Structure 1
Amino acid sequence: MTHVVTLNSGSSSLKFGLFSMQGDEPEAICTGEVDRIGSPAAHIQATDLDGRDLIDETSETIVDHHSALDHVLDLVVRQFPGVTISAVGHRIVHGGPDNDGPVLLTRDSLKDLERFSPFAPLHQPFNIAGARAAMERFPDAVQIACFDTAFHRNHPWVNDTFALPTEYYDMGVRRYGFHGLSYDYISNHMAKTAPLLHSGRVIVAHLGNGASMCGMISGRSVGSSMGFSALDGLPMGTRCGQLDPGVVLYLMEQKGMSAAQITQLLYRESGLLGMSGLSNDMRTLEEADTPATRKAISYFNFRARRELGALAAVLGGLDAVVFTGGIGENSSLVRERICADMGWLGIELDPDANADSARVISTQLSRVQVMVVPTNEELVIARAAAQICRSPSNCSVSELEFSSHI
């Protein structure tokens, strides 16, 4: 039996999964995450198909993404001896203006994708580093890239452009949209479980440490709250969201801040963390219930309500709203506040269903169905890898041997 490994590299984390390709649909055998890579408190956690812990420990030897991948391989070999890896699927945040689906990765194509690192400076370099590390450790396996931007590549031109001279659009300064793997999963899930809604007008709210919203018609993205970078749109855990570009000019010209300082401010010190002065975690903010945390939550909800109305206008109406992501799936308070007084748009929330995080949290009389659907980006990557790998011309097998990876 052959398997797919999925890797989702962040600046200090590595999410991973091991999937069997025995059936038509990849089946997760284990999933996990290595976080705080490079710190003495680096942590690796994984669970099996039944939710049982396979590992949950800290390690001072996880100093970079290469060593993190070594720990993942060690875990896989110890827990699942004899597995064979046919493909490795990677989440790559930025695919540029042309990549609208998964692609085979080579060392040359990785060099090409480095061109988009300035467009996603806190994500792309680590995605590529993770892919290079996997190529070294799985030299015979097929490597596949799945792009967060790909799902949005068929936007109408007016949703992609900025009001700048056209040469900037041609050089790549345009709206790309992100969280595409999550939106891809929700779109496919709805096609199977709610086909009538899928064929209509749907807004998906991916709310988490990174947050965005996407408007879909017939399962295809026509508008996104995120733009040129993963800073735009909704406020996030540590990112500012929508910001007047004049603020950046002011910080540069009047406050003497460098590009590096502004990057640190907008990516790592703003959002829920910056507004609350306490945390980027919505659970912590809700529990604290201080004036500052209440303001941060209120702003988060206000911007989400504003984007919901804007995307409904882009879609020309609304048939369903789907909440997903860590906040979207778990915070009944945020869902309640976003949907409050939205009867004019056809939204009527069922308080009890919302409190229980039920699959459908709108009332039976609500013209717009409101749903909670857990996302699964790793499964999207595994599906793409399995599909490409099933082509005999693409797929070879790299067998893991315990002694070679210790």
Structure 2
Amino acid sequence: MSQVVLTLNAGSSSVKFAIFAYGSGGFDELARGQVEGLGAQATFTAKRTSGAKVQFTLDPGQGAPDHRAAMKAILRWLGEEKLDDNVVAVGHRVLHGGRDFTQPARVDAALLATLRTLIPLGELHEPFNILGIEAAIEAFPKTPQVACFDTAFHRAQPFVADVYGLPRSYYDEGVRRYGFHGLSYEYIARRLKMVAPEIAGGRVVVAHLGNGSSLCAIRNGRAAATTMGMTPLDGVPMGTRSGQIDPGVLFYLMKVKGMSVTEVSDLITYNSGLKGLSGISQDMRALEASDSPAAKEAIDYFVYRIRREIGSLAAALDGLDAIVFTGGIGENSPRTRAEALTGMEWLGVHLDKAANAANAQRITTADSKTMALVVKTNEERMIAEHAINVAGLAAQLESAAR
């Protein structure tokens, strides 16, 4: 039977997971699911690639379910599916790897200690990533655990794309443009070698658009620049995050409006972006279905910022060979893609409206100098591949599969 790799993405109120089989049949996704509502009424949901969805509410027991309760629920389901004895590696998405983690790494006590020092760089995510790792170690004490950093892909970007205009000592301390969504960008860079090899080694801007959104300039498969910065708050507006904002606005909110640091943080993190601008929802589907002028204006601002960033990143690349849309919005919203590419003829982009409406892989005309593609991302698969490789199991499993 194929060996199994488990991937985990632990957030503040959820743990997402996926299961991949690695054996003689190759590397295949078996299932994915999540436990959401941690700290309140938590619900487990999972679905085999071919099979019915399973859903149940976690027993509150001694209190509101936490990350360990989530792991127990995942273990219970793995046992029911007869997969628990075959887990050979666990891969974890970790938001921040700081300056030093440029590659996935095997988890040990020293790594966990380092991750705790990085919490100030990712206060909204890093503590929960650590909790997820600790819960997985408790559940699988003898199984290799591998941390896969969302910042690692961007460590290849040059100094000028990495630095802020502050005294150099801050940069040396770690105040840098780290960038995020790196696992998604890494997957897309690899995937392009198969779906569009003619541009895979060229100058590509990838737009990862979803509840969290960013864009990345990639040259020859390596990061050159990105829109997010030291934290995931910079760049284009997102579901609830403001995106790029003048620091003076934050000073105004604190000095004139009397808001605390926590209140400002909550405002630009949870109550801004599409949700704040529209006053309706952070969900692009709801905004596109609405006839509210505010909903249209929120979408207009979103695509305006995408257009600006595409132009900026094209300049960073000294030109452009392709634009790739990915993520929940990027893969599924023809309207967003069409509006983001409107007027981009100066970059050699000519939209094929019918192909775009059909969510085709290529959405530009055959005579476009610059290609635009829609490519589905798969961060979980990227994590699973890293887990196998870092744990040193790839050669062993390939040999056993022969």
- TM-score, length basis structure 2: 0.94
Could you say which residue in structure 1 is the equivalent of 2:53?
A: 54
Q: Distance in 2 between matches of 1:289 and 1:359?
A: 29
| Equivalent residues in 2 for 1:357-396, closer than 5 Å | 357-391=359-393
Could you list the per-position Cα deviations for residues 54-80 of structure 1 after superposition, in whole angstroms to 9, with x for gaps in the alignment?
A: 313444536211111111111111023
- By how many angstroms is 1:394 displaced? 11
Question: Match for 1:130 among 120, 123, 132?
Answer: 132
Could you list the per-position Cα deviations for residues 84-112 of structure 1 after superposition, in whole angstroms to 9, with x for gaps in the alignment?
A: 21111000000001111110101221111
Q: Distance in 2 between matches of 1:56 and 1:128?
A: 26
| Contact 1:7/1:91 (<8 A) preserved | yes
Q: 1:393 to 1:253 in 2, by over 3 A?
A: farther
- AA of the residue aligned to 2:15: L
Could you say which residue in structure 2 is the equivalent of 1:304?
A: 306
Question: Match for 1:96 among 95, 98, 123?
Answer: 98
| Contact 1:388/1:394 (<8 A) preserved | no
Q: Distance in 2 between matches of 1:9 and 1:32?
A: 12
Could you say which residue in structure 1 is the equivalent of 2:334?
A: 332
| Contact 2:103/2:149 (<8 A) preserved | yes
Question: Among the aligned pairs, what percent are the same residue?
Answer: 47
- AA of the residue aligned to 1:47: K
| Contact 2:146/2:391 (<8 A) preserved | no
More moved, 3-12 vs 323-332: 3-12
Report the RMSD for the aligned CA atoms in angstroms: 1.7
- AA of the residue aligned to 2:9: N
| Equivalent residues in 2 for 1:123-272, closer than 5 Å | 123-272=125-274
- By how many angstroms is 1:210 displaced? 0.3
| Contact 1:100/1:153 (<8 A) preserved | yes
Could you say which residue in structure 1 is the equivalent of 2:5?
A: 4
Could you say which residue in structure 2 is the equivalent of 1:404?
A: none
- By how many angstroms is 1:193 displaced? 2.5
Q: Distance in 2 between matches of 1:66 and 1:264?
A: 27
Q: 1:237 to 1:389 in 2, by over 3 A?
A: same
- By how many angstroms is 1:26 displaced? 2.7
More moved, 77-86 vs 366-375: 77-86
Q: Distance in 1 between matches of 2:84 and 2:283?
A: 40
| Contact 1:215/1:221 (<8 A) preserved | yes
Q: Distance in 1 between matches of 2:135 and 2:361?
A: 39
Could you say which residue in structure 2 is the equivalent of 1:398?
A: none
- By how many angstroms is 1:83 displaced? 3.5
Q: Equivalent residue of 2:118, what SS?
A: helix
Q: Distance in 2 between matches of 1:174 and 1:265?
A: 23
Q: Distance in 1 between matches of 2:283 and 2:84?
A: 40
Could you list the per-position Cα deviations for residues 125-171 of structure 1 after superposition, in whole angstroms to 9, with x for gaps in the alignment?
A: 11111001101110000010000000000111000000000011011
- AA of the residue aligned to 1:146: C
- By how many angstroms is 1:211 displaced? 0.1
| Contact 1:305/1:338 (<8 A) preserved | yes
Q: 1:108 to 1:361 in 2, by over 3 A?
A: same
Q: Distance in 2 between matches of 1:392 and 1:269?
A: 44
Q: Equivalent residue of 2:23, what SS?
A: coil
- AA of the residue aligned to 2:280: L
- AA of the residue aligned to 1:5: L
Q: Distance in 2 between matches of 1:63 and 1:245?
A: 38
Q: Distance in 2 between matches of 1:280 and 1:377?
A: 22
Aligned residues: 393
- TM-score, length basis structure 1: 0.94
Could you list the per-position Cα deviations for residues 217-239 of structure 1 after superposition, in whole angstroms to 9, with x for gaps in the alignment?
A: 01111000001110000100010
| Contact 1:20/1:27 (<8 A) preserved | yes
Could you list the per-position Cα deviations for residues 341-373 of structure 1 after superposition, in whole angstroms to 9, with x for gaps in the alignment?
A: 110111111111101101111111111111111
| Contact 2:323/2:372 (<8 A) preserved | yes
By relative contact order (CA 8 Å, sep 6+), the higher-ranking structure is 1
Q: Unaligned stretches of 5+ in structure 1?
A: 396-406
